[in-house]
Chains A and B, each alone.
Chain A
């Protein structure tokens, strides 16, 4: 079974966010594979180990995204396509989905795996949009996956519980935390990854014209939240006095109970 995994490189979740000239400043930030995409890569590798086939990574991003892509190759993915074109700097989710779908179309696959959300832009749109462009069903936020005879049986999270869905392949599934425990790249894995194919393509290579992809959303205007400040900390009191004081504050000052 052939599997395509879309992945994106994002800021480390520990990173501080600083604005510079109205843009998010990436200077000095440690870049990592989007955490939810790790689940997608892991699931793809497990399926390949069981059924054979090929795991292909598709990533859109700048040349620095090679780092996340190499990590996926070091985990065990077979090859990768990196879509790197400066015209995509100003893309929105619609543009990203159209372009990713075009790149994915050329790769033979039975299953498309992605993360539930990218932790930087927090859109949770791109993968589902790709499925729509490719005309295949999408199941989001999956916690369990079984593939058997041309169909996938997945358990997904819903409000108040879970549901089990059966879907014919090809299909697109997005990974939620709990699906698996991603492996770490091993030393031999890292060495091997250096020799694996990573093809960098531009929009023109994909037969696309940047002029056809004017974003449907305006460029974001960024702002920073007001920092929360330390409030009233009750320390050094008998527990019952501390609790009485807290409840009085919550009731009379904050008016939340």
Chain B
């Protein structure tokens, strides 16, 4: 009988990613109810040192899948290695963050295991009928679908920042086991030739606690410096509307919305953004939305929690100064 909740742990530079800890925190609550063991599965190379931090967030057991071939993520090697351990251990659920890696891996793994999957869930609960149910935004956040699986395991990806992070308990200990990574040659056809990471002191958009975004109202690429200065005072990431991207003010990867990133920060500050439905699709689940716009009729004011009607070129630098005073 399939048993146990697996959380696949993502890590970067020797640290567990926040979204993995958010998932562990929620799954700890669920596991306490169902009696399932909570298992943190850590793929990678030299990952043993991460066991303590996942134990602190509630893992009962840690499975290290340690192999040089798993040092950098590739779809094939990760699917091969993790699917084999999953077939052996038969977990009831396999959960991972809806990150670049999670989005790529989860459907491939689900199909190999013949499993159903819930993508980009913002909520998960224990469900008497089908073990776990997942609530996920559809149609750009204009509706939700709640789904569960009719068989086990169920695979799911969870949106970063959607679940709250629990308290770490450094005293908690977990059983740690090693599983060999068995990787089929057939799964190694795609070869990573180059990884180009852009060093940035700012947080990753999808995981940021706060985001300051600029739209067409920014008028030109040179003005994004004022948003960056403001962002840095509160540790925020910088984002943009599609109009700002299409006008060449800022790179595509910063776009928030239906055809850009989906974000769920605690604080989203929209500067010179009108609030089009496709922009909303990417940031509508933010906890607190602030709008700075010179047009009092701008649609964004109908949904922002706080707003200033004014010229962003005046407001944003002042905001930077006031934020500085807070810290």
Contact = CB atoms under 8 A, between A and B. Distances in A.
Interface of A: 11, 13-17, 19, 24, 35-36, 92-94, 97, 119-126, 128-129, 131-133, 135, 137-141, 143, 153, 157-168, 171, 177-178, 214-225, 228-236, 239-240, 242-244, 246-247, 249-251, 254, 256-257
B111 A256 contact: no
A160 to B, nearest CB: 5
A242 B287 CA distance: 21
Given A13-B278, A216-B149, A225 B309 contact: no
Contacts of B147: 217-221
Interface string B175-199: 0000000000010011111111110
**Chain B binding surface SS class:** mixed
Interface stretch (B37-45, B49-57, B216-224, B253-261): B253-261
B11 to A, nearest CB: 12
A217 B149 contact: yes
19 contacts: A13-B258, A24-B143, A36-B259, A94-B111, A122-B136, A122-B138, A128-B107, A132-B112, A138-B104, A140-B104, A141-B104, A164-B193, A164-B195, A177-B259, A229-B303, A233-B306, A235-B310, A247-B322, A251-B326
Interface stretch (B23-31, B63-71, B311-319): B311-319
Q: Interface of chain A, helix or strand or loop or mixed?
A: mixed
A124 B120 contact: yes
A97 B150 contact: no
Interface string B119-141: 11000000000100001111111
Given A217-B149, A242-B308, A230 B191 contact: no
Interface stretch (B1-9, B162-170, B288-296): B288-296
Contacts of A223: 135, 143-144, 146
A232 B305 contact: yes
Contact of B138 (A15, A121, A218, A232): A121
Given A24-B143, A242-B315, 9 more contacts: A24-B139, A139-B75, A158-B100, A163-B196, A216-B116, A220-B146, A224-B142, A225-B141, A239-B315
